[in-house]
Every structure is written in C-alpha cells, then in structure tokens.
Amino acid sequence: MATAFAIAVLLSACSPSKSTGTEAAESHEADEHGEEIPQQTTIPAKTAAAAGIRVAAVGPGEIADEHEVQGLLTPIDGRVAQVTARFPGPIRSVRAQPGDRVRRGQVLTTVESNLSLTTYAIAAPIDGVVMARQAAVGMTAAEGAPLFEIADLSTLWVDLHIFGGDAQHIRAGAPVTVTRLSDGVTATTTLERVLPGTATVSQSTVARAALPNADGQWRPGSAVKARITVDRQPVTLVVPVTALQTAKDQDVVYVQQGDVYRTRPVKLGRRDAERVEVVDGLKPGERVVIAQSFLVKADIEKSTVEEEE
C-alpha cells in the first residue's frame, strides 16, 4: 500500500501546474464571510485509482441510533471446569500447562493414591484451554482440591455496562458491534439478554451478548468497547463520514465530474459512527469522493497556493 506521502507526490506530479485566470475565477467561491474557498482540481482517472480515491453516487440510506458502551469479556457459565483429584496422594506427573489446548479425555496429570498405592490418571472433562494449574510433581493432591481450571473459549460472553436512562432503550435482540481495544478488530453479534440486577460496583445495568471466538484472539478478562444499535431512521441522502472534509470552517464534500473534482459545501443533519445525513448541498445521484477525500482536499489547496505565487 502506498504511503500518504507517496500518494501526495503522485498527485503533485500528475495534476495541472496552474489554472488560467478564467479557470482560477471559476475554481473559487466566496464563503459566508466573503473569503474564497478553493473549488476544484483535475486528477486523471489512472492517478486517482493509484491513489485509492474512490467515488460513489449519493442516495438514501439509514442513520443508526447507537449507544457507545464499555464491556468485559468473560467465559460462559457452564463452560469452565475445575479438575480435582478423586483420591488423595502425591502427584507423579503433570502433562499440561496454562495456555495448552486440551481435548476431553486427555490426561492432565497422574496421582499415586494413598489408599491403593496405585497410580491413576486425571483427564480433562471438556475440550478447552488450560486457564490455571495448581498441580506440581511431588506435591500431595488433596481430595477435591482444584488441580487445573479448563475453559471452553470458543464462545465468550460480552458483558456491556449501560448507565442511566440508556438502559430503558436497550432490549434483547439489538445488534452490537464489539471492538477489541488492543488492535481495533471488530465483530458483530446480538444482545441475548439484559440482566435484571444492577452491578454493585459500577451501578450499571449489564447487557450480555455471545461472541464467537474460533481463533482465540478474544481473551477473557479483556476490556472492549461496543456500539449497540437500538433503532435506524431512513433519510433522503447520506454520505459516509470518510467523505467529509472542512474548508474555511465549512463542511464540504468533493463531487466528481469526469477528471474534475469540485468542492461542494454541505449542510449536515443526523449522523452515526459511519454515515451522516446531508440536508442541503447535494442531489441524489451525484458522485462524491468516499475514500482518500483528504488527498483531493490537499491537491485543491496545493493548486490554490500555486495560483497565488
């Protein structure tokens, strides 16, 4: 992938050097304060494609009513097993370590029974990952004392903490987008339930969703952030937030006509994390830059500087 600097160089090399006097006059427009806003630039199609500039026709869409919340990953109840000794005696071998994946029936340790003086094996009762190990060769395993903890982490619970009046709007069945704080990876799921009680420490309502974890990269105990979508409202025109830039303190987008990209001031309405409503400034079907719009802005501003020199 080309760096932003390399792309800027590419645009600089391929864009027209300067506008004529007539073109310069047409390529600027006064804003509400009487200051000129740079209006357009020309970028050949091949250059735009190489720079990752993408456009799309604007049209109707939906704006989501979303609640941003924090949460915690936990193992699912009933999928955690404590492995104990059936008979007391010294441990003769240990065959699993924390982090190991084990299968049901796999031998974890052997113990010499104090009662029969014979060695017996203790096996994993479920498929899962060894979360903790207390067993060590030579120590005495007491009857019923935990030697290993095994958890099936193929699916986790996401416990999301909801505060105040937000809890009144959130119901089971709502779509949820969960984001890992460590690397920004997201996953989608659905709220399974809103727990009836209140978390004592945080005084929050807990909403719970199941999260598939086939690759094991979602780790129990990790904090996450999430967006819960409680409603979606149709709107006449939407653009992705990646289309938006500012020029002279105005919200603008860049409309493509052939190889020409023109600045278009817009009036915005409702928005969510991905989309924003356009209430004035665009017509359905107009093609707007939706990716690398900052490069188009930079090229327009560069052309303006060259014209002033």
Going residue by residue through the chain, which has 309 residues, state the pLDDT in tens, using 9 for 90 and above.
Answer: 444 444 555 555 554 434 433 333 344 555 454 455 558 999 999 999 999 999 999 999 999 888 899 999 999 989 999 999 999 999 999 999 999 999 999 999 999 999 999 999 999 999 999 999 999 999 999 988 999 999 999 999 999 999 887 777 788 999 999 999 989 999 999 999 998 887 777 788 999 999 999 999 999 999 999 999 988 899 999 999 999 999 888 999 999 999 999 999 999 999 988 899 999 999 999 999 999 999 999 988 886 555 555
Nearest to 100 by CA among 135, 134, 132, 126: 132
End-to-end CA distance of the chain: 33
Question: How many of the other CB atoms lie within 10 Å of CB of 190?
Answer: 11
Question: How many of the other CB atoms lie within 10 Å of CB of 189?
Answer: 16
Return the H-helix or E-strand segment holding 11.
helix 4-14
Tokens at residue 194, please?
Answer: 């809103």
Q: Where are the domains of the chain?
A: 4-62+234-308, 66-76+155-233, 80-151
Strand, coil or helix: 271: strand
Question: How many of the other CB atoms lie within 10 Å of CB of 64?
Answer: 20
Pick the CATH number of 80-151 from 3.40.50.10310, 3.55.50.30, 3.30.70.3270, 2.40.50.100: 2.40.50.100
- pTM value is 0.66
Up-side HSE of residue 123: CA atoms within 13 Å toward CB? 7
Up-side HSE of residue 267: CA atoms within 13 Å toward CB? 3
Under DSSP, the state recorded for 236 is: E
Map tokens 């003769």 to a residue. Answer: 92
Return the H-helix or E-strand segment holding 234.
strand 223-240
Q: How far apart are CA 255 and CA 167, in angstroms?
A: 41
For position 97, what pLDDT does the model report?
Answer: 96
Which CATH number does 4-62+234-308 carry? 2.40.420.20
Which CATH number does 66-76+155-233 carry? 2.40.30.170
Judge contact between 162 and 170, C-beta under 8 A: yes
Judge contact between 253 and 205, C-beta under 8 A: no
Cα dihedral 161, 164, 170, 172 in deg (nearest 10): 50
